Structures are given as C-alpha cells and as structure tokens.
Chains A and B, each alone.
Chain A
C-alpha cells in the first residue's frame, strides 16, 4: 500500500498477557518511529530506528517494552505482561531521507490497545 500500515487496529488484552503490534512503513523509508498516545494527550515518543538499527529507545517506559526492525522494513513493538496503564493508541510513523531540511513523518492509523 501507499501509506504506513499498522495491525491490528484494535487489541484487547487481559492484564499480564503479552502483545505484539506490527508496523509496515512506506516502502523505502529509512526512519521508523513508535509513539504512544494516551487519551487526551499528544503522541509521546517511544523508540526510533534508522534502517535496522535502533538508534534511540529512551522513550520506552519500562523493560516490558521491546521493539525490533530486523530487516530494516517491518517493525514490531512487543509489550510483555501488559498492565492497565499500557492502554493507549500506539502510532507508527516513517520518513525517508528528506532533502532541503524537510522532516515530516508519515503516520499509520494506530493500534488501540485496551488492557482489561
């Protein structure tokens, strides 16, 4: 497809369950970002990849969160032993190497995770 694709769109997990969220970036995009958006808040940075290298994971809230992008395209965000505070929309964004100083990122529709 032409845009960033995320799956599943919605996920309900029981507390303590592990979940895996998938992101298919725009083909050829070098950079990939994961954000977490809680209700009524703006997106908050979780982690960033350039190709397969995870360059920044400073936003991951705990060691229960893990992300990978092994071949530099599709990325998976895994959350182990989910807690209620993990309930949020998880957004994936990608961007190419822009010229001329442009830096916009293109977002997927997000995965809404609800932990019950």
Chain B
C-alpha cells in the first residue's frame, strides 16, 4: 500500500509557463515533506521542503503548498526552464530520523 502517491507519471510544459506537480499521502503521521529532483544517472537532489506547521514554502522559482486536510501537496515551478526537465520525487517522514518514504516520481519535460 503506497503511502506517498504521485499519480501523474509525466508532465509536459512549455518554457516560461508554470509547472505543477502533485503528491498525495495517506499516513496522517507524516509531518515533514520534501521534493527531490533527479537527473538520469545521478542520485536524487534535495529541492525544497515543508513542515506540517506551514502551508507554503517558497524558494526562488519553487514553491511547495501543503493542504493537510486533503493530505495533498504540490510543487509549483514558475517560470519553467528546460533545465528543470527531470524526474521529481515527493517524499515524507513522520519524525526526526525515520527514513523518507518516496512516491514513484513524475517526469517533467519543459519544452523550449
């Protein structure tokens, strides 16, 4: 049973437009959420995170929104750039040092 779900395997967006990647979770004990970006043949790279005490965290072109009641989070990238093309993983954890639980990822393609 998947605790973190990314229901869109792929997403294609035009350069300059907004990319919205979605993630749903089922475990109500999760209180910290992260997004990782992965290029081919590389390990995942941390992008942005959010604690459950917040509903929004922004870092440059990247913003993560958290809706606890819906158990849903989203990553917004604006404006999207071709270099953003990668696989994006949503991850969650439920206490200080427990392992991250990952979704299956969404492949983002930003078209010039």
Q: Which A residues contact B (CB, under 8 angstroms)?
A: 4, 6, 31, 33, 35, 40-45, 48, 50, 55-56, 59, 91, 93, 95, 101-110
Contact = CB atoms under 8 A, between A and B. Distances in A.
22 contacts: A33-B99, A35-B102, A40-B104, A42-B89, A42-B102, A42-B105, A43-B102, A44-B102, A48-B98, A50-B97, A56-B99, A101-B32, A103-B34, A103-B49, A103-B93, A103-B96, A103-B100, A104-B46, A106-B46, A107-B36, A107-B45, A109-B42
Nearest to A107: B43
Contacts of A45: 99-101
Contacts of B99: 33, 35, 45, 48, 56, 59
Interface of B: 4, 6, 32, 34, 36, 41-46, 49, 51, 89, 91, 93, 96-105
Given A31-B97, A41-B104, A101 B44 contact: no
Contacts, number: 64
Contacts of A59: 99
Contacts of B43: 4, 6, 91, 93, 107-110
Contacts of A105: 46, 100
Contacts of B36: 107
B32 A103 contact: yes
Contacts of A43: 44, 89, 100, 102
B44 to A, nearest CB: 5
A6 B49 CA distance: 25
Contact of A107 (B4, B44, B101, B105): B44
Nearest to A46: B99
Contacts of B41: 109
